[in-house]
Amino acid sequence: MTDKIVIVGASLSGLSAAEAMRAQGYTGRLTIIGDEPYLPYDRPPLSKAVAMGRVSASQTTLPRRFTRGDDVEWRLGIAASGLDLDKRQVQLADGQTVPFDRVLLATGTRARGWSNPGQAKLDGVITLRGRDDAEQFSLRLAARPRRVLVIGGGFTGSEIASSCREIDIPVTVVARGAVPLVGALGSVIAQRAADLQRAHGVDLRCGVSVNALEGDSEGRFRAASLSDGSHVEADVAVVALGAIRNTEWLKGSGLAAGPIGVVRLSWVDNIHCRWEWCCLLNHALIGIEPFSAVEGDGGKHSAIASVCRDEPSGFERTLRDHDLICGRRHTDQLDVDPKLA
């Protein structure tokens, strides 16, 4: 097989798919497009080791076994801005186009910012998603702020709070739920996690939200007012309110792209997708994470690799049997609506 495959998204998902393609015999042309100027890197250390200054962000680069050679083209630092299915081209933000025979969509998500644009611009209000974010946050922690305010009590918010306490920086976590992480861990374990946070000095405020972020005359973040009427003074506010799927660049492509993922309303045999949630109609050939839901734990990436070898995978065979399939990340099975099957 000698066609050209383009992967849009140069994070872990895109790299994993590319490595699987090469490992399982795909020898055609391969181009990987990423909006950041960096090779794929590991994100979990960003809110821990990098934030605490123990390793640099450059040390988080992921290992590559099959994608180090000249037979893989990395187009980094330029975002994809459009997808032309008729011409089979990915449009880039700088006006260039990249032709493809098959395209894998792996643009993932970005951090959800603070909802008030003016307040979001205050110096000290940040999100933590990428390498640049982590380096900025590390510098701010090194400056020893009076307090760090974490808005959101999910995994990222909890990790940031843990990092702050490990280097003895006061931190307040504001979570709307009764306890942090209850949706992911359940009430019993989440309560234990909350107890551990408080035992380690985290000022944990549950059942409340942030009404407004306040700055001084020089535009620096200085405090936040909460829904219970209380006031938290801090020098840094980390917005950890989840993520937004990067689907805007697909507007006008013929793919129905939105917050839940991507829906294709007609047959297509050259589009593949890797998102936390994907829906597909009329046998659109789109990969859903986790592939292990169909392929088994040992074959997480074999569905994509099989597609690139023109061989039917278990995932593809499932697509042939159902018109609508939905898959969720962190689930053990694919849920098929029998009314639409």
- 3-state SS, residue 71: coil
* Longest Cα–Cα distance in the chain: 65
Separation of first and last alpha carbons in the chain: 33
Same fold, 4-108+246-328 and 113-242: yes
Task: Tokens for 214, please give them.
Answer: 């306040």
Task: Tokens for 66, please give them.
Answer: 């099959």
CATH architecture of 4-108+246-328: 3-Layer(bba) Sandwich (3.50)
Question: 5: Cβ–Cβ under 8 A, 6 or more apart, which residues?
Answer: 21, 26, 28, 29, 30, 31, 100, 101, 102, 103, 104, 308
The CATH T-level fold of domain 113-242 is FAD/NAD(P)-binding domain (3.50.50)
Predicted pLDDT of residue 304: 44
All structural domains of the chain with their residue ranges? 4-108+246-328, 113-242
Backbone angles phi, psi at 144, to 5 degrees: 55, 70
pLDDT digits (tens, 9 = 90+) for 121-135: 999 999 999 999 999
The mean pLDDT of 78-98, rounded to a whole number, is 95
Give the pLDDT band (50/70/90) at residue 38: very high
Helix 155-166 and helix 187-199, axial crossing angle in degrees, nearest 10: 20
Whole-number average pLDDT of the chain: 80
pLDDT digits (tens, 9 = 90+) for 235-248: 999 999 999 989 89
> From CA 174, how far away is CA 176, in angstroms rounded?
7
pLDDT digits (tens, 9 = 90+) for 245-267: 898 998 888 876 666 555 544 44
